[in-house]
Every structure is written in C-alpha cells, then in structure tokens.
Amino acid sequence: MTGITHAYDTFQPTHYDIFIDIDRGTKQISGKSVIDGDAQQKDIFIQQKNMEISSVQADGKDVPFEVDNKKEAINITLPKTGTTTLAVTYKAPLTDSMMGIYPSYYEVDGVKKEIIGTQFETTFARQAFPSVDEPEAKAKFDLAIKFDEKPGETILANMPEVKNENGVHYFDTTVRMSTYLIAFAFGDLQSKITTTKSGVKVGVFATKAHKANELDFALDIAKRAIEFYEDFYQTPYPLPHSWQLALPDFSAGAMENWGLVTYREAYLTLDPDNTSLDTKQLVATVITHELAHQWFGDLVTMKWWDDLWLNESFANMMEYVSVDAIEPDWHVWEMFQTSDVPAALQRDATDGVQSVHVDVEDPAEIDALFDSAIVYAKGARMLVMMRALVGDDALRKGLKNYFAAHQYHNAQGNDLWSAVGEAAGMDIGGIMNTWLQQPGYPVVSASVVDGKLTLSQQQFFIGDGVDKGRQWKIPLNSNYEVAPTIMSDKTIELGDYAKLREEAGKPFRINVGNNSHFIVKYDDELLKDILDHHDELDAISQLQILQDLRLLAEGKQISYASIVPLLPKFADSHSNVVNAALYRVANDLKKFVTPDSDEEKQLQVLFDKLSAKEVARLGWAPKNGESNDDQLTRPYVLNAALYAKNTDAIASAHKLFEENSSNLAALSADIRPYVLRNEVKNFGSEELFDNLLSEYRKSSDASYKQDLNIALTATPDAKLISKLIGKFEDAETIKPQDLRSWYRGVLANDAGQQAAWDWIRNDWQWLDDTVGGDMEFTTYITVTAMVFHTPARLAEFKAFFEPKLNTPGMTREIQMDIKVVETRVKLIEAEKDAVNAAVAEIVK
Ligand SMILES: [Zn+2]
C-alpha cells in the first residue's frame, strides 16, 4: 500500500452502527463498530488509537487483521472488494487527556463529581470507535451508549434519543457527516431550552455547580444566532436540535460538533448581572463562531485538513458578522480590530510562518495547523477583505449556491471562490490565492517621488527575512479615486501629487477601514499631512496609524523612538479602539526599561501623564448608562495609572477592596482584576493570598476566576510565588486546561520569572504527559517567547528548546519563537537609549 496515506482511499464507509459501553469506575471503554462501506481494494485499513482489538469480521466472518499503532490503524485483509460490512470489537482505556472520550471533574457543595464528554477533532474519534477517521469519509451514524448510570443523569448526543432499552441509550440516525463532529456527553446536568422561529430546539447545558441564570446569556445568543444564520445563509439549520454544553475540562475554546457544541465553561456560562462587556462580547463571538460552523464546516466540510482554513477562517469572520447583526450597539468589529488584526499582523511578519493553506499529512502536524493568528485571524481578515470587495449581496448569493452544491459532502477552497466569484462577477480566486498560498503580507510604501504619488509593495518582515519577491493582489481602498481597486504590480504611479492633493482636499490614505491585510509606510510628507489632520480621522483609522507605525518600528523601517512623541496626541481619545492601540504601544515600551531603574520611573511618569485626564473623567465606578466606549476604555487607563504607581489610584483601589472584602466577587467585573491585583501587589500578605486562592477553588464564575489568577500571579513575594508554583501540578486547584495562563502570569511577573522558567524546564516531561496530546501544547512555547527580551533569557530559551526541534508538531513553533525573541533582543539593544531619551523628552 505504498503511497496511500488516506484510509478513505481503501475503504469508503456509508453507515456506522456504534455501540459503546463506558465504565467510569474502572475507566474502561468497550464497544463494537459495525461499518457498511465500499472496499476499494482487498488490503484496506481503518483507524484506531490505543485500542485493544479482539476481533474483526467482514460480512459475518473473521478476517485477518493487524494493529499498526504507529500508523494509528488496523490493517485488514478482505476476501473481496466492493460492498462490505465490517465489525470490529474493541476495548480502550478512558484517559484524562481531554481528547477522545474523557472525564471532566468538578465539585458541587464540596462533593466531587464528573461528567463524560468527547473531543474528536482532529483525529480522536479513532480513540472512541474504529472508523475511517478522515473528514472526507462522511457517513450516517447510529449511536448506542451504555454507562454506569446513576439516577437523574442526562445523556446528550448529536441527535435526539429515540429509545432506552436495558440501560442502552439509542440515538436517531444522523445525517451524512464526518467522524470528527460526532459527540456525546453524560452526567448530572442542568439545562435551559428554547425554540427558534423555525422550530429548532436550542439548549444550554452545564453542571449544577453553576447558578441557573448563568445559562441565560448563552441561550439568548445561540437562539438569535441560529435565526440569523438561517436567514443569512438562506439555508435551514439541518438538525432537530442545537445543544450547547459547558465542560469543566476542555482543551480548546469550543468545538462545533454537529448539534452538540461543547465549550470551555468560561466561553458559555456567565453571571448576567456582573460580567464585563468585553467578556460578554467574547463569549458571544465564541458561540456564534461555533454556530457558523454548523453550516460551514459541518454541513459542508473541508475535503482534507489542508483546507482547515476553509472552516476556521470563515467561522472567524462570521462570528463578527452575526454578533454585529444581533447586537449592533456593541460595534463588535472594533474588537476584531483590537484582537484578530494585530495578532495576524504580528505573527505573519515573522519569516517561517505558515501560509493559511498548508499541505499536511501526519496527525501530529495536523494539530500544529491550528495557528490561531494565521488560520483564524489572518484567514478571517482575508475573508473580510473579500467581503469588502464583493459586498454582502454577492456573498450571500454565493454562499447559498455553495451550500446547495456541496451540502452533506466536502469542498475545497476553490469551490468557495468560484461560488462567490460567480455571484460577484469577479475572479475572486485569482485575487485570494495570492493571500492564501503565500505566507506573510506586504508593506505598501506611499511616497512622492519627483512630484509623483507612487505606491510600491514589498513583503514586510519583523526580524531577518528572506525576500523571495512575493507579490500580492492588494485591495487598496484608497480615499483618492485615482488609485486602482486592486494593486497587482510591484510599483504603480498615481500622478502629480500636488494636483491630486488639491483636488481631493484631504490627506492621501490607503487601506481606509483597515480591512485589507497589509500595512502602509507613508513618506514623511504624506505622514505629516495625515497626523496634522488626525482629529478628522475616525477611531479605526487612528488605531491603524499607531498600529502600522508600531509594526514598522518593530521591523526597523522607522525608529521606535519616533513613535513615542505621538502618544500624547491620542491620549485624550474617548474611543476604546484608539486607547487599545495607544496602550499597546505604551506597554511595549516597558521592554526597553529594567525593573525599578530610573528609566522605568520615567516611563511611569509618562503613563501617569497619558492616563490622568481619562482616569479623572471615568473614575473607578462604572456609571449607569455610560457608553460602551467608556466601559471598555476604563480598564486601559486604570491599568496605566496603577503601573504609574499613581498614589490616588492605588488608594482608590485599596478602598474599593476594603469596602467589598466580604464579597469580592460582587466588585464590578470591569474593574475587579485591577482592584484585586493592586491589593496583592501593594497590600499583600500570606493570609490575603490564601483567601484569594481559596476563592479561586470555590468559584464557578470563570471571569472572577480569571481576575483572581491575574491578582495572585502578580505577587512580589518570593515565598508566595513558590507556593503558587507548587499548585501548578495540583489539578484540584489549577486545572490543566487553565495552567498556561497561570504560568504566563508568573513568568511575566519580574519577581516570579526565574521560578516559572525553572518550573517549566524541570517539569517539561510532566507537562508533556499531562497536556502533550493537546493541540494547544505548543502555545506554552509561544507565551514564553512573548515575555522574554534579554540576551540571557534568549540563550536559555535556545538551550532548552533547540534540542526539541525535531519533535513532530513543534518544529515550526520553536523556530518561529527563537526568531521572535532574537529580534526583540536586537531591537532593544539598538533602540533602548533613543526610546528612553524620547520618553524623557516628553515627561521633563
Ligand atoms: Zn472553529
């Protein structure tokens, strides 16, 4: 079978009868998978992982088989090709890996409990039942489940239950679907259920550790999102129900299993009376993301994992399109501009980054595809760019045709481009493939050369990069009519600048709206013109100016020090997006100073100066009926004032803490992390630390828990830091799914960095054993690289990670992250003095 890597090429299933018996007590799974299908050859293979196979039958007769664990397969020899019914009997362990079928642990009133859930994407269905576990192998499934059931327990699956016989739960036959979207779960659950206008039952399920009203927000968003998608896609929701289930242990953010979406608790349940607006927006976008997949991904699925972007980039765009439609006052596209856009621009500027479309075969490499800044953020940006080009009417028409042509089957990127391109009457594929297949993005230089306004494109790098002469078809979105819609050439000339400027009556700009994936380097004359009129720019454009300049400085195309004097110009803005960009630059200045040095004191004075006016205007108490901008800006400026060691700010936060010390969870969620962190940093004691840690263990409110994490990891006390690190491997305090943010918090704390770094190096094997099978594992490397910025740490980072370069799935991340730290160290060495002098100039 040389050359054949896809099981689907050997056996094509049409229907599964699956029986699974799960015993939580003995942690054993046993089952039987009966698969009807079409054998393409006599020597076939199907997939399994960590299974003990007791028999394989074909059409009722035992046939020879061999388990190949390296290939995660069962090689089977059939007597004939053609229509065949396979029956595989097996046993497998129930493991705590958060993959396959796995338990989640939680406590209610001090009683320890567990629920069983599943996570099959990417290649973990094969850990639950033998199957052709590839997205193209769509089939119908009849699922029957038995478990050590206790009274009052609920069981959920993709389809409704049709009967319960002798303790076996039988579910209705599914529609044609991929294995990675199968899901089920059982345990002691509570729920809230409603029905959409079109009759789809929508439900939210969670453990009873949550208050009932913590399910309300998600139920409302999910119902309205399904109604929105049915209208936008002009295609009905294909199943009888849409269940949303919060699992206490969950590796990713959420998973779009068809009809039974699973979520991290933090992304589904929330306290409707005390949760910050940005957390609500985040939860809403996670729900709408998963529900976008019910069509895009589930109804029509990528043919193979190389087109993962087709699922994820699209859902990532639609999460914003739908939230913007159902909650227009939130202006949720602003969140896209402050989160996805900078993430994509940052990561995509490092040479060695993957392109959105990547060829892939090995299961370990498939997991490494889930690069959130690329496959999600950049991919979404690519589609936003396409949407801006074709408009919503053509997009919707194209999608309707795409769903009609491919529903219950698979598709590739070009199928989408041709459906949308046909609806729009444009060659969309020709434009989009330059963005999809090539890594990186261009910087477009706009300059006046010999009086002529000239544009030229070149790949933008942060750090060393090999220029391979890549070119993109760039939607320019200029505010001057003379600029073409698409710039395909390396250089174009737009005409006499003085004349164009006079006719237009405004500064020349491109990428207006910041919807195209490129940055702009204006020459001094053009930039001065824009900055002289910066008051006339909308918030997104102001953010864009600061963001592009910051990136150009990181790419050493301009001096970092030259941005510093611009900060006070934007500091009085009431817009949260401008403040996001402003404080992103300001916070980045921290890497140029040594803790507690004179330079840092000077930087603190700058922070005080930048934030003073807005702190005075907004204060610590969120006001009834205040604008979304004010709610979202307050955290930036309070955080800045506290970094500045502003005595009033420290005292105000302390006072709030004392007034609420009997019920800290009731502190307004908008300011709670800053109040708690201020207390730990400036008024901390072991008693306070222990109290907060015990609050963390007891609470089921994920946003409060996150705030406690932020506070506790900020302790300056070495003894408490080592106490905290001692809890890293205690799953009853810190769940493995949450550990990364604790590690990152301590690592980013100057007083804790050494201890956190020692921990991860010493206990790497434990970490690998605990979360190594998890697709987020490599992000431990990424978060470390995000913090490090000294030559000594760079050397240690290389010494530790370089020997791991050949680990499957880790190679690219290690290479990228070494480059990221190296580049930052060089930038600091080169620019430190000038940056600190520029700060001194403003504060003197
Ligand atoms: Zn997704």
pLDDT tens per residue across span 326-343: 999 999 999 999 999 999
- How many whole angstroms from 12 Cα to the centroid of ligand 1? 26
- How many whole angstroms from 604 Cα to the centroid of ligand 1? 40
Residue 823 has pLDDT above 80, yes or no: yes
- How many whole angstroms from 214 Cα to the centroid of ligand 1? 23
- How many whole angstroms from 815 Cα to the centroid of ligand 1? 26
User: What's the confidence (pLDDT) of residue 362?
Assistant: 79
User: What's the confidence (pLDDT) of residue 774?
Assistant: 75
Q: Which amino acid is at 603?
A: L
Residue 1 has pLDDT above 60, yes or no: no
Residue 479 has pLDDT above 70, yes or no: yes
Share of the chain above pLDDT 90, in %: 95
- How many whole angstroms from 824 Cα to the centroid of ligand 1? 31
Element (H, E) at 102: strand 100-108
- How many whole angstroms from 411 Cα to the centroid of ligand 1? 16
372 secondary structure, DSSP code: I
What digits encode the pLDDT tens for the residues 195-223?
999 999 999 999 999 999 999 999 999 99
Note whether 238 and 199 are within 8 A (CB).
no
Burial class (CB in 10 A: 0-12, 13-18, 19+), 187: buried
- How many whole angstroms from 289 Cα to the centroid of ligand 1? 6
The distance between the two most distant Cα atoms of the chain, rounded to a whole number of Å, is 88
Burial class (CB in 10 A: 0-12, 13-18, 19+), 811: middle
- How many whole angstroms from 123 Cα to the centroid of ligand 1? 15
373 secondary structure, DSSP code: I
Q: Which amino acid is at 671?
A: I
The pairing of beta strand 43-47 with beta strand 82-93: unpaired
- How many whole angstroms from 253 Cα to the centroid of ligand 1? 9
pLDDT band of residue 360 (cuts 50, 70, 90) is: confident
Classified as helix, coil or strand, 728 is coil
Q: Please compute the mean of the pLDDT values over residues 666-674 and round it to a whole number.
A: 97
- How many whole angstroms from 395 Cα to the centroid of ligand 1? 20
Q: Please compute the mean of the pLDDT values over residues 760-787 and round it to a whole number.
A: 92
390 to each of 57, 285, 397, how far by Cα in Å? Answer: 53, 24, 11
Element (H, E) at 128: none
User: What's the confidence (pLDDT) of residue 4?
Assistant: 66
User: What's the confidence (pLDDT) of residue 529?
Assistant: 98
Burial class (CB in 10 A: 0-12, 13-18, 19+), 776: middle
Note whether 827 and 556 are within 8 A (CB).
yes
- How many whole angstroms from 345 Cα to the centroid of ligand 1? 20
712 to each of 670, 736, 737, 747, 804, how far by Cα in Å? Answer: 18, 17, 18, 12, 31
What residues are labeled active site?
A: 290
699 to each of 108, 665, 678, how far by Cα in Å? Answer: 10, 9, 21
- How many whole angstroms from 434 Cα to the centroid of ligand 1? 23
pLDDT band of residue 3 (cuts 50, 70, 90) is: low
What digits encode the pLDDT tens for the residues 99-114?
999 999 999 988 999 9
- How many whole angstroms from 356 Cα to the centroid of ligand 1? 14
How many other C-beta atoms are found inside a 10 Å radius of the C-beta of residue 430? 13
SS percent in the chain: helix, strand, coil, step 5: 45, 20, 30
User: What's the confidence (pLDDT) of residue 809?
Assistant: 85
User: What's the confidence (pLDDT) of residue 649?
Assistant: 98
Whether omega for the bond prior to residue 122 falls within 30 degrees of 0, making it cis, is: yes
127 secondary structure, DSSP code: G
Two tokens, residue 86: 């396979």
Nearest Cα residue to 623 out of 678, 679, 670: 670
Q: Please compute the mean of the pLDDT values over residues 450-465 and round it to a whole number.
A: 98
The pTM for the full model equals 0.97
Share of the chain above pLDDT 70, in %: 100
- How many whole angstroms from 746 Cα to the centroid of ligand 1? 29
User: What's the confidence (pLDDT) of residue 2?
Assistant: 44
Q: Please compute the mean of the pLDDT values over residues 286-306 and round it to a whole number.
A: 97
- How many whole angstroms from 320 Cα to the centroid of ligand 1? 13
Q: Please compute the mean of the pLDDT values over residues 293-301 and round it to a whole number.
A: 98
- How many whole angstroms from 380 Cα to the centroid of ligand 1? 11
- How many whole angstroms from 288 Cα to the centroid of ligand 1? 10
What digits encode the pLDDT tens for the residues 682-715?
999 999 999 999 999 999 999 999 999 999 999 9
Two tokens, residue 173: 């036959």
Note whether 371 and 360 are within 8 A (CB).
no
pLDDT band of residue 816 (cuts 50, 70, 90) is: very high
The pairing of beta strand 409-411 with beta strand 65-68: unpaired
Measure the CA–CA gap between 54 and 56, rounded to whole angstroms.
7
Note whether 203 and 241 are within 8 A (CB).
yes
- How many whole angstroms from 367 Cα to the centroid of ligand 1? 13
Q: Please compute the mean of the pLDDT values over residues 668-685 and round it to a whole number.
A: 97
Note whether 218 and 269 are within 8 A (CB).
yes
In terms of residues, how long is the chain? Answer: 844
Residue 678 has pLDDT above 50, yes or no: yes
- How many whole angstroms from 310 Cα to the centroid of ligand 1? 10
Q: Which amino acid is at 494?
A: L
**Mean pLDDT estimate for the chain:** 96
